[in-house]
């Protein structure tokens, strides 16, 4: 998948107003109107490898995704 096709998929899935950070193969999708500080913290978490540490050990789906490139979505619930 080329970068543009991947980006097109992200836009189609999450909408044209989605704020996207692509870090180490992960697509961080910010749908919660984060501050610049929050975005930097999220990027740092992925760069440091801590994102995999946050996955629940008792969750088979989480364990399957561990170490795989995927979308990480932050959503603001009203």
pLDDT digits (tens, 9 = 90+) for 49-63: 777 777 777 888 877
Listing DSSP states for 35-68 in one string gives -HHHHHHHHHHHHHTHHHHTS-TT-HHHHHHTTS
pLDDT exceeds cutoff 70 at 75: yes
pLDDT exceeds cutoff 70 at 5: no
d(CA 20, CA 23): 10
CB contact at 8 A, 72 and 51: yes
Instruction: Tell me the two tokens of residue 30.
Output: 């910010």
CB contact at 8 A, 20 and 30: yes
Give the count of beta carbons closer than 10 Å to the beta carbon of residue 30.
19
């Amino acid at each position: 998948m080329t970068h543009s096709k991947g980006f097109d998929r992200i836009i189609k899935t999450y909408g044209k107003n989605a704020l996207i950070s692509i870090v180490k193969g992960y697509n961080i999708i910010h749908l919660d109107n984060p501050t610049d500080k929050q975005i930097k913290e999220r990027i740092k978490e992925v760069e440091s490898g801590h994102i995999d540490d946050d996955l629940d050990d008792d969750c088979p789906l989480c364990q399957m995704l561990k170490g795989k490139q995927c979308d990480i979505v932050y959503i603001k619930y009203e």
